[in-house]
Chains A and B, each alone.
Chain A
Amino acid sequence: MAGVRPSRVWAFAAYEIRRALARRKVIAMVAFIVLLDTAGYYILAASGTSFIPAQVYPYVWIAGVLIPFTLFIQFLAILIAAGAMSEEYEAGTTELLLAKPVSRTEFFAGKFLGGYLLLTILIILNATLSTIAATLTFGAQAELATLPGVVVVEVFSSALFFSVAFMLGELVRRSSLAYILSSALIVASQIVGTYLSIAYELTGNAFYASIHTYLPTTLAGSLPPEYEQSVLPSVAGRIFELLLGPGSGVPSEAVAAFLVVVYFVVAVSIALAYFSWADVSRRVG
């Protein structure tokens, strides 16, 4: 992109990571990840493992990597993204940052990249802690070579809600409202998806299933398990049935990936266009 200097983008990205970490909300989420990934396995192990077949033990790390992703990581994405721009407006700091020889695109790109990098780090933290906890509680884990792949897919999929929340934060310029709207989108998408699944089960009408495919929660949540299932041996498929429930109904990984990109491009384009056009807000209450 013309006029975008990587050094300025990186400066804003580093600043955004620092700013996000300075907020207690994100720190609380990190603490929750640690708790979720460690305590979950210990409780499971301590409460008896009879319902988990022994041949599945080497694959329980998948549960820790994928279960938080379906909802928790999505909320983490919106927690970071929705406040990236809006909290700057609320603090009144945008004005000072932009009254400098930097372009708005550099600022925007840096803020987006910084937030997304932070989310990536947290996804990696989640995967790492899950794997360690699974190993300590259920013994040596298998097929760990697929872990980087699933992390990459999780990072990619999380771009959907991250970009939508980032856009809402810029458009409404109020962090609370942006969180509420983004969360409402996740919850509404989840509820609608459930109704559509039921309707499909009852009627067998493919129309309901096809709409379900396009819902943001379906797209963002289904890609990692779809990917993981495709690369693991069939014995590991049991873990998905036990812990993740039936398949998501997404027709193909390619379609899901394409739709994630569509959501991302549309959200980022709207946010950038508005940010470039609108006046820089002074401190908003």
Chain B
Amino acid sequence: MSAPVIEFAGAVKVYGKKKIGPVGFSVDRGEIFGFLGPNGSGKTTCIRMLLGLARPSAGKVRLKGLDPLRSHTEALTGVGYSPELPNIQTFMSPGEVLALTASEIGLNSGVKAEIDRVLEDVGILQYRDTKVGKLSKGMVQRLSVAQALIGSPQALVLDEPMIGLDPAGTAHLRETFREFARSGGTILMSSHMMSEVEDLCSSVGLIHSGSLLFRGTAKDMVGEVLGGDLVHVEAMGLTAGTIEALGRVEGVIEVTTAADGLEIKVKHGVEARPAIAKMITDSGAELLTIRTGERLLEKAYIEALRSGGSKAE
């Protein structure tokens, strides 16, 4: 088994009275890891340690198995980074910014074609020669992602990459990242947009007050935090008896009445929808919709912060 691309082992950062960590997790090759946590929880600090921008006070941080401070050049080779709220030189054009990035990463041939490729990838090729100062926030965000993608990196570190983007931009970048992952790239992505994380990430980590509360798949997090999966049912003509009977379906943990139907908690990993649907139709009620719960990760996230946050602190 190959070494993880990203590794935190008891990493601690102390800023005056504030302490982040110890944080420990790893991200393997080909993984899209969603790094979750509220503002100020330590996500960006971890990312800065990972990129050799901040020195850990204790513990170990490794990028491609290398110390990003001692072996900065080697560790950062093939790694693209897009920061949260990117500050990009306003007096330069996207083309010039990317030419500078190309110089930094040692890209010597086919630079112009590569610049055009990444600008096309993020959908701002037509702004190549416009000064960054004149671009909208969303365009700057796309440029930030473009400079992370230049030179075909093997890993991307993205701090809130979708922030400030319109829905079209979000969809465009989501597809760009998917394509990147499909080609074997590794992504560590911090985000507050749970739907994006749920949709894109193969695994997630939740950090709060400098401590890692959870590491696993989004589905596992939902199962572990919420105590099961959620099935949402809309039906007409449900009786109290039917609702009570639904509680006895195999795998069902709890049935609660919501404003727009029933919310049924089932054991994690158990597919109970066919049995639930059958019982409703057999009872004579009309089943309108039955689907797995939406925004589960968001619910799990909030619940985890509520219950785990106090423990972490």
Contact = CB atoms under 8 A, between A and B. Distances in A.
A109 to B, nearest CB: 14
B53 A280 contact: yes
Contacts, number: 77
Contact of B83 (A22, A95, A279): A95
A243 interface: no
A124 B144 CA distance: 38
A25 interface: no
Contacts of A96: 81, 83, 86-88, 144, 147
A91 B140 CA distance: 14
The winner among A3, A100, A277 for most chain B CB atoms within 10 A is A100
A254 interface: no
B100 interface: yes
B53 A7 contact: no
A111 to B, nearest CB: 13
Interface residues of A, number: 27
Given A95-B87, A96-B86, A283-B87, A102 B104 contact: yes
A7 B91 contact: no
B72 A104 contact: yes
A279 B103 contact: no
B41 interface: no
A97 B76 CA distance: 12
Given A3-B73, A19-B89, A96-B83, A101 B106 contact: yes
Interface string A3-19: 10101100100010011
B101 interface: yes
Interface string A254-277: 000000000000000000000001
B105 interface: yes
Contact of B73 (A92, A95, A97, A102): A102
Contacts of B104: 8, 11, 97, 100-102
A280 B90 CA distance: 20
B101 A100 contact: yes
A100 B105 contact: yes
Nearest to B15: A279
A46 to B, nearest CB: 40
B267 interface: no
A280 B55 CA distance: 9
A99 B106 contact: no
A152 interface: no
A99 B103 contact: no
A3 B72 CA distance: 11
Interface in A1-57: 3, 5, 7-8, 11, 15, 18-19, 22
Given A7-B103, A8-B104, A104-B72, A99 B51 contact: yes
Given A8-B104, A11-B100, A96-B88, A103 B48 contact: no
B74 interface: yes
Contacts of A19: 89, 91
Interface string B94-113: 00000011011110000000
B54 interface: yes
B87 A103 contact: no
B153 to A, nearest CB: 10
B158 to A, nearest CB: 12
Contacts of A5: 106
Contacts of A100: 76, 81, 101, 104-105
The winner among A96, A98, A99, A282 for most chain B CB atoms within 10 A is A99
Contacts of B101: 100
Given A11-B100, A15-B100, A98-B53, 10 more contacts: A5-B106, A8-B104, A8-B106, A22-B91, A91-B90, A99-B51, A99-B157, A100-B81, A101-B79, A277-B55
16 contacts: A3-B73, A7-B103, A7-B106, A19-B91, A91-B89, A97-B104, A98-B53, A99-B76, A99-B81, A101-B73, A101-B105, A102-B73, A103-B72, A280-B53, A280-B54, A282-B48
Interface of A: 3, 5, 7-8, 11, 15, 18-19, 22, 91-93, 95-104, 277, 279-280, 282-283
